[in-house]
Structure 1
Amino acid sequence: MPPRFLTLADVAKTLNLTMSAARALVTSGELPAIQVGGKKVWRVEASALEKYIEDQYALARERTRAHSAD
Protein backbone atom coordinates (compact mmCIF):
# COMPACT_ATOMS: atom_id res chain seq x y z
CA MET A 1 0.00 0.00 0.00
CA PRO A 2 1.47 3.38 -0.99
CA PRO A 3 1.97 5.99 1.74
CA ARG A 4 -0.94 8.32 2.42
CA PHE A 5 1.26 11.39 2.84
CA LEU A 6 4.11 12.59 0.66
CA THR A 7 7.04 14.85 1.46
CA LEU A 8 7.76 17.98 -0.54
CA ALA A 9 10.66 16.07 -2.06
CA ASP A 10 8.19 13.42 -3.27
CA VAL A 11 5.94 16.13 -4.71
CA ALA A 12 8.87 17.85 -6.42
CA LYS A 13 10.02 14.56 -7.95
CA THR A 14 6.53 13.60 -9.13
CA LEU A 15 5.92 16.98 -10.76
CA ASN A 16 9.53 17.36 -11.94
CA LEU A 17 9.87 20.63 -10.00
CA THR A 18 12.47 22.14 -7.73
CA MET A 19 11.90 21.95 -3.99
CA SER A 20 11.27 25.69 -3.88
CA ALA A 21 8.62 25.41 -6.61
CA ALA A 22 6.90 22.56 -4.74
CA ARG A 23 7.02 24.60 -1.53
CA ALA A 24 5.53 27.59 -3.38
CA LEU A 25 2.57 25.47 -4.54
CA VAL A 26 1.93 24.49 -0.93
CA THR A 27 2.43 27.88 0.72
CA SER A 28 0.25 29.60 -1.90
CA GLY A 29 -2.56 27.16 -1.11
CA GLU A 30 -2.67 25.89 -4.68
CA LEU A 31 -1.70 22.42 -3.43
CA PRO A 32 -3.32 21.54 -0.09
CA ALA A 33 -0.92 20.33 2.59
CA ILE A 34 -0.55 20.03 6.35
CA GLN A 35 2.34 20.71 8.70
CA VAL A 36 3.22 17.88 11.07
CA GLY A 37 5.90 17.01 13.58
CA GLY A 38 8.13 19.06 15.80
CA LYS A 39 9.68 20.93 12.89
CA LYS A 40 6.26 21.37 11.27
CA VAL A 41 7.36 19.90 7.96
CA TRP A 42 4.88 19.91 5.09
CA ARG A 43 3.06 16.75 4.03
CA VAL A 44 0.80 16.43 1.01
CA GLU A 45 -1.86 13.77 0.90
CA ALA A 46 -1.35 11.53 -2.14
CA SER A 47 -5.00 12.01 -3.17
CA ALA A 48 -4.57 15.81 -3.02
CA LEU A 49 -1.59 15.58 -5.35
CA GLU A 50 -3.57 13.40 -7.77
CA LYS A 51 -6.45 15.91 -7.69
CA TYR A 52 -4.01 18.76 -8.34
CA ILE A 53 -2.64 16.89 -11.37
CA GLU A 54 -6.17 16.20 -12.67
CA ASP A 55 -7.06 19.87 -12.21
CA GLN A 56 -3.96 20.92 -14.15
CA TYR A 57 -4.97 18.65 -17.03
CA ALA A 58 -8.44 20.23 -17.00
CA LEU A 59 -6.93 23.73 -17.09
CA ALA A 60 -4.67 22.73 -19.97
CA ARG A 61 -7.68 21.40 -21.91
CA GLU A 62 -9.57 24.64 -21.31
CA ARG A 63 -6.61 26.74 -22.47
CA THR A 64 -6.23 24.56 -25.55
CA ARG A 65 -9.92 24.92 -26.41
CA ALA A 66 -9.85 28.67 -25.82
CA HIS A 67 -6.72 29.03 -27.95
CA SER A 68 -8.17 26.95 -30.81
CA ALA A 69 -11.39 29.01 -30.72
CA ASP A 70 -9.44 32.23 -31.37
Structure 2
Amino acid sequence: MTPRFLELADVAEELNISPRQAYALVRTGELPAIQIGGRGQWRVETTILEEYIQRKYAETREMVRGRPSADAEQDQL
Protein backbone atom coordinates (compact mmCIF):
# COMPACT_ATOMS: atom_id res chain seq x y z
CA MET A 1 0.00 0.00 0.00
CA THR A 2 1.36 3.41 -0.99
CA PRO A 3 1.58 5.86 1.91
CA ARG A 4 -0.61 8.93 1.67
CA PHE A 5 2.12 11.29 2.88
CA LEU A 6 5.83 11.45 2.13
CA GLU A 7 8.66 12.86 4.21
CA LEU A 8 10.81 15.50 2.53
CA ALA A 9 13.65 13.00 2.23
CA ASP A 10 11.33 10.76 0.20
CA VAL A 11 10.22 13.70 -1.93
CA ALA A 12 13.86 14.60 -2.57
CA GLU A 13 14.61 11.03 -3.60
CA GLU A 14 11.59 10.88 -5.90
CA LEU A 15 12.58 14.13 -7.62
CA ASN A 16 16.30 13.29 -7.58
CA ILE A 17 17.15 16.51 -5.74
CA SER A 18 18.71 17.23 -2.38
CA PRO A 19 16.61 17.34 0.80
CA ARG A 20 17.55 21.03 1.07
CA GLN A 21 16.08 21.68 -2.39
CA ALA A 22 12.89 19.82 -1.43
CA TYR A 23 12.64 21.95 1.71
CA ALA A 24 13.05 25.10 -0.40
CA LEU A 25 10.21 24.01 -2.71
CA VAL A 26 7.97 23.60 0.32
CA ARG A 27 9.03 26.80 2.07
CA THR A 28 8.42 28.91 -1.05
CA GLY A 29 5.00 27.33 -1.55
CA GLU A 30 5.90 25.89 -4.96
CA LEU A 31 5.21 22.41 -3.57
CA PRO A 32 2.27 22.41 -1.14
CA ALA A 33 2.89 20.54 2.12
CA ILE A 34 1.66 20.34 5.69
CA GLN A 35 3.45 20.44 9.02
CA ILE A 36 2.51 17.81 11.55
CA GLY A 37 3.56 16.76 15.00
CA GLY A 38 5.20 18.61 17.83
CA ARG A 39 8.42 19.15 15.90
CA GLY A 40 6.63 20.44 12.81
CA GLN A 41 7.74 17.73 10.41
CA TRP A 42 6.87 18.51 6.79
CA ARG A 43 4.80 16.02 4.80
CA VAL A 44 3.76 16.08 1.14
CA GLU A 45 0.72 14.17 -0.01
CA THR A 46 1.58 11.72 -2.79
CA THR A 47 -1.21 13.06 -5.02
CA ILE A 48 0.12 16.61 -4.57
CA LEU A 49 3.61 15.47 -5.55
CA GLU A 50 2.23 13.83 -8.70
CA GLU A 51 0.29 17.00 -9.56
CA TYR A 52 3.48 19.02 -9.05
CA ILE A 53 5.41 16.72 -11.39
CA GLN A 54 2.68 16.94 -14.05
CA ARG A 55 2.63 20.74 -13.70
CA LYS A 56 6.41 20.86 -14.23
CA TYR A 57 6.04 18.69 -17.36
CA ALA A 58 3.41 21.11 -18.70
CA GLU A 59 5.62 24.12 -17.93
CA THR A 60 8.54 22.45 -19.70
CA ARG A 61 6.42 21.66 -22.76
CA GLU A 62 5.34 25.30 -22.98
CA MET A 63 8.92 26.51 -22.58
CA VAL A 64 10.13 24.17 -25.34
CA ARG A 65 7.32 25.23 -27.67
CA GLY A 66 8.29 28.86 -27.19
CA ARG A 67 11.89 28.29 -28.22
CA PRO A 68 13.13 27.93 -31.76
CA SER A 69 14.26 24.44 -32.62
CA ALA A 70 17.96 23.56 -32.70
CA ASP A 71 17.70 23.11 -36.49
CA ALA A 72 16.27 26.61 -36.94
CA GLU A 73 19.05 28.03 -34.78
CA GLN A 74 21.67 26.28 -36.93
CA ASP A 75 20.09 27.68 -40.11
CA GLN A 76 20.47 31.20 -38.72
CA LEU A 77 24.21 30.78 -38.14
TM-score normalised by the chain length of structure 1 = 0.95
Distance in 1, matches of 2:48 and 2:62, equals: 21
Question: Whose radius of gyration is greater, 1 or 2?
Answer: 2
Q: Once the 2 structures are TM-superposed, how far is the Cα of residue 68 of structure 1 from its aligned partner?
A: 2.9
Aligned partner of 1:46 in structure 2 is: 46
Which residue of 1 is the match for residue 12 of structure 2? 12
The structure 1 segments of at least 4 consecutive aligned residues displaced by more than 4 Å after TM superposition are none
- 1:27-67 superposed Cα distances (whole Å, 9 cap, x missing partner): 00000000001101000000000000000000000000000
Q: How many residues align structurally?
A: 70
Amino acid in structure 2 at the alignment position of 1:13: E
- Percent of matched pairs sharing the same residue: 54
Separation of aligned partners in 2, 1:19 and 1:5: 16
How large is the Cα RMSD of the aligned pairs? 1.3
TM-score by length of 2: 0.87
